[in-house]
A and B are shown apart, each in its own frame.
Chain A
Amino acid sequence: MTTKTSLLKVILLGDGGVGKSSIMNRYVTNKFDAHLFHTIGVEFLNKELEVDGNQVTLQIWDTAGQERFRSLRTPFYRGSDCCLLTFSVDDNQSFINLGNWKKEFIYYADVKEPEKFPFVVLGNKVDVTERQVSTEEAQQWCQENGNFPYYETSAKDATNVAVAFDEAVRRVLALEERTDHLIPTDTVKLHRKPRSATSCCS
């Protein structure tokens, strides 16, 4: 068996200002910049990981949370392997909007089986003292909406950021393994397109 290098696309969604870009930057470059501008459209960074002897390139897509950037970001939902729904624990509205983000993602990413898609929920900015969303509330929402794993993170002081991404990767790989069992890959495809004489003209 060869060790395959697979690319996993993970997308961060959530209201503007909850800290999606900061989470990505913290995870990939281990830096925090308090003066980031709004993300316009989408951005992404790659991070190489080794999981169970397999090289994995994690491609983390950071998106613009503001409504006015919607048409720019939605075309890039497609092909995501995991979605990190992000809110800020000091902003109740961003928590309330999680459901909308989930809906938007499922619609534009054209997810075939939404109930099986790996979502992970992040409550960011736990370093802030004035919380508006309690851990219990968030956990309850996650349970009611598909039993999503929930992490309380802080991009500012690096709390739980790596742990959350590790969980995302684990979820995706676990799902792939399950589907790998269903569709064995070491078979011969009988329906391969025959080489025809017309191929030279294409």
Chain B
Amino acid sequence: MADLMLPESRRCNNFFLYDGSKVRGESDQTREGICYFYPEETPLDEQELLCGQLAGAGRCVSELSSSPVRILNLHRHKFAIRMEDEFFWALGCSVEVPTVSVCELLDQLINLFCFYNGSVRQSYQLNSQETLAARWAQYLSHLQSGSSELQHIFSCLKTIDSTNVDPLLLLKAALILQACQRCPLVLAGCILFRGRVVSTQMSPQLTMKVMVHESTTYTKPQRPNGPSSSFGGAVSSTTVFLTPSELRYLQSAPVNKDFSSHSTPHKNTPLKKTRLSRTLSDTPSSTESEPSDPGNSQSPQKLLSPHLSVSSMFSQDPSQSTPNPPPPQPLEPPLSNGKHSPEECPSPEALEESYYHSFHSNGDGGSQIDNGGDTSAGTEESHDHQVSEEVRGRGSGIVPGHKVERSDPPHSDAFEHPGETPLIPMTLYLHRVKGLVLALLVEPHFLSDTASMEEVYHSSLASLNGLEAHLRSVSPGAPGALGPYIFAHFDCIQSTLTSNLSGRPGGAPEQPFVRATSLLHSHFCNTETLQEAIIRSAGAAVYGTRSVAQETYFQQHGGSLRNSGIPNHQDSAFSLPGKARHRLLKHGVNLL
């Protein structure tokens, strides 16, 4: 499936990492501080010029305003900036690219690096600059490759085209993942097919990170199955580093709860070191990416059921005057479904755990509500449990029924500071069956636990074989002629994009649509209260609408726009919202 790929879609013109700690004295040269510069063939003088000027400007502005710089807008370029202790990152794009997308790209890049290498400072102490340069280049090329411009705008996950796939196969994938979690050392997993997500238990951000390793192992030639290893060459693993909030999120999954007490020795130690709650006011004021952007935030309940999380997470949002229906019912059933352990019905303790994961002891007995304070939109029964447990179980310092209004997301990659927070080493386990990959985040000692490894391997092998055979036999839908309309639907919660443009080679007709979408997305990100907009040129009009959970863009072809220059009720642009509602229903997009 060829994605719409435009020649100028190279998102990043420049990227560098500059280590200020190497350039202290007058005699120190700027080049000493340049850890990595992209494009690598840039003359060193130019590298120094850009690094020196940007780092200087960034420092200056942030000191004057006493808030970190996130973006520097120039006439033709914009630079996303990140500063952490002595490190300074900058990623430059054309001004056309939405600011929010540039910032997301930089955050993704840094987070990717930290996921596979640990903290930046330590990595540069342990590895040569050349080794790490190769990794930056790898991550950068991964993030820029193979995606359509639309996907770049939303920084979304690449998923399989579910319109051609029997939903039962998605269920099958979800069940394979759940079966793996019967092993207590398995935290969570995802299943990928030819570089696209089939099913995932992880947050979109974490899934994106895992996909990089998958793509690098895919390009390597397959080792022949050695007779010595019972797993052949199909299984590989690598060390990865999770942020404390990522780990907390994974361990909050109810399916892990029964085991976590004995199987996760790291569990409680790192939690205390992080800030327990971040509020909106904590975030840098100069930033353009919203801390409350649902695309970045994750509700821990999401693992339970994305359906539930949408309603519960935002049920208190005052801006949501007309409650939007949750996105199409996810095909993955709640995790507890596939679990056939004796505790089929969660005990009150298990419920408490699953809804209370976000309660952290402050160390001195005080507790804070981090997130998930309100699950009322979910199951009433569990909510009752919550309240009673609150009083009974964790009484100290908690007002029963107290609710935190729109508490901050427990995890937001954009505001994670991998340079500062301790990262927890975990293991990424991959089992490949041709184009299909099972990727599991496991406790590091999983690899030395032969019994667990064999259990996971053998319990999933037949199903993976079958799923691979099924997915391989799914014929990609014919790209078809450009229909009478174009749409793009972005699910902010799952970070997925649905569009009738995907799978089509890039062409002129959709360019206005892509540009308009980019502009509207920017506006939606910058203006939290904006819900609907129509953007138009002489030849085209694009309608955009958003809720906390989704963004939808729609353009109708054909029929000249009757635009007289003054408001005119016959102006066909005004019929766009109605047409969008009507047309998109059959794509499973409900705008009513």
Contact = CB atoms under 8 A, between A and B. Distances in A.
A37 B462 contact: no
B462 A40 contact: no
A74 to B, nearest CB: 12
A117 B459 CA distance: 32
B171 interface: yes
B172 interface: yes
Interface stretch (A41-49, A151-159, A180-188): A41-49
B468 to A, nearest CB: 10
Interface string B161-191: 0000010110110010001000000000000
A37 B473 contact: no
Contacts of B470: 41-42, 72
Nearest to B178: A37
A40 B331 CA distance: 14
Interface string A73-85: 0011000000000
A43 B465 CA distance: 6
Interface in B315-348: 338, 340-341
B463 interface: yes
Contacts of B340: 35, 37
A41 B462 contact: no
Decide if the interface of chain A is mainly helix, strand, loop or mixed.
mixed
B473 A43 contact: no
A27 to B, nearest CB: 11
Interface string A10-42: 000000000001001100010101010101111
Given A29-B458, A31-B458, A37-B338, A72 B463 contact: no
A24 B462 contact: yes
A37 B175 contact: yes
Given A37-B340, A69-B168, A45 B465 contact: yes
A90 interface: no
A40 B175 contact: yes
A79 to B, nearest CB: 12
B588 interface: no
B35 interface: no
B133 interface: no
Contacts of B469: 42, 44, 76
Given A37-B175, A72-B168, A44 B473 contact: no
B462 A62 contact: yes
A71 B338 CA distance: 23
A42 B466 CA distance: 5
Contacts of B171: 40
Contacts of B172: 40-41
B166 A72 contact: yes
Contacts of B54: none
B461 interface: yes
B462 A25 contact: yes
Contacts of B338: 37
Nearest to A24: B462
Nearest to B170: A40
B168 A43 contact: no
Nearest to A40: B172
B458 A43 contact: no
A50 to B, nearest CB: 14
6 contacts: A35-B341, A40-B169, A41-B467, A44-B469, A45-B462, A45-B465
Interface of A: 21, 24-25, 29, 31, 33, 35, 37, 39-45, 62, 69, 71-72, 75-76
Interface of B: 166, 168-169, 171-172, 175, 179, 338, 340-341, 458-459, 461-463, 465-467, 469-470, 473
Given A25-B462, A40-B172, A44-B469, 8 more contacts: A33-B459, A42-B466, A42-B470, A62-B462, A62-B466, A72-B470, A75-B473, A76-B469
List 3 A-B pairs, minimum CB-CB distance, nearest first.
Answer: A43-B466, A35-B340, A43-B462
